[in-house]
Amino acid sequence: MADAKQTIHSLNNAELHRYSKSIAERERAVTLELLHCLSEVESRHLYSKFACSSLHSYCVKELRMSDGQAGRRVAASRLLRELPAMKHKILSGDLSITAAAQAAVFFQKEARAGNSFVKEEKVAILETLEQKSTREVTASLVNLSQTPQIHLQEYAKPVSGGQTEVRLFLDDETMQALERLKEIFAHRDPSNAVSTLVKRLALEALKKNDPVLKAERATARISKTEVQAKSAATTEDLASAVPALERAIKPEATTTVFKQRTYIPSRTRHAVMHRDHGCCAFVDTLTGARCGERKFLQIDHVVPVS
């Protein structure tokens, strides 16, 4: 290794350039040979003999590839098996392994969505991806799709330090709205970080819409009003105590023989949300397990009311 480093160090610029190109060509040739090997391994189900459930798992466990490397090479090997002529593009460097893998995944998703491509169409699409970056390939493929949303996958990946990496796709209208909000809040956050803006919007939306927080605020208001009412009563200021008590303890809606109450007062809704911490309170009679769902909640009467 030391001799190799010394040899490289002794090369002039032109020689180093030629040597680097030759290494890159050999790398592409070796990668192409590896793709053929992976195709054969999959056709023989050889990975199962090494306690691997798939070719991807075999690449990670036995060939020591990362998840990303394995995914790209598996996808490219399958596409190469279907389109053998693609090997010349890979060998020349016109079509990168990453672009081939992106195209393979694109064709798979389109097929599942009912938009299959014939071989001639796939070859034509691959030709348009030559000499393009990963971002350019993504844009080209999405533009070709009749259902582009299936290729725009969002994800949230935890990273160190209590942070989460989020990938999402926003339309032009949303981006314009975010840019305008960044301008409005620029005096509060000169850095104009999108993460800070998203946090601000999320907290404000929760404060306004979270039924648990609304219930807590309502409970706090009632408690404060009751304290004020008791304080007024101890000073024999009944004139001010009575209105306060009336606000604190609102009577339930009355029913008549002609029409039953069909709504639940907000005071009761807040109390239920506060009691159950914003979770479903249903308990399975067989297992004794509580549901705990926090979405699509409804508050119903114990005795159904028509």
- The tens digit of pLDDT for each residue in 131-185 reads 999 999 999 999 999 888 888 878 888 888 789 999 888 888 999 998 888 888 8
- Between the two ends of the chain, the Cα-to-Cα distance in Å is 84
As a whole number of angstroms, the distance between CA 171 and CA 148 comes to: 13
Average pLDDT of 56-65? 97
114 and 146 fall within a common domain: yes
pLDDT reported for residue 258: 46
Whether residue 66 is contained in a domain is answered as yes
In terms of DSSP H, where are the helices of the chain?
2-9, 13-44, 55-61, 67-82, 86-92, 97-112, 119-128, 134-144, 172-184, 194-209, 211-234, 238-248, 266-276
Long-range contacts of 133-137 (CB under 8 A, 24+ apart): 134/98, 134/99, 134/102, 137/98, 137/99, 137/102, 137/103
pLDDT digits (tens, 9 = 90+) for 84-98: 999 999 999 999 999
Exposure string over 190-207, b if 16+ CB within 10 A, otherwise e: eeeeeeebeeeeeeeeee
Whether residue 271 is contained in a domain is answered as no
Return the bridge partners of 165, or none: 157
Whether residue 8 is contained in a domain is answered as yes
Average pLDDT of 256-274? 71
As a whole number of angstroms, the distance between CA 289 and CA 191 comes to: 47
pLDDT reported for residue 168: 86
Domain that includes residue 185, residue range: 170-202
Whether residue 131 is contained in a domain is answered as yes
Whether residue 198 is contained in a domain is answered as yes
Whether residue 221 is contained in a domain is answered as no
- Cβ-count burial of 229 within 10 angstroms (0-12 exposed, 13-18 middle, 19+ buried)? buried
Mapped onto helix, strand or coil, the DSSP state of residue 166 is strand
What total number of domains does the chain contain? 2
18 and 117 fall within a common domain: yes
pLDDT at residue 14 tops 90: yes
38 and 91 fall within a common domain: yes
Angle, CA of 54, 55 and 58, to the nearest 5°: 90
Write out the two tokens for 250: 């609102």
pTM for the model: 0.58
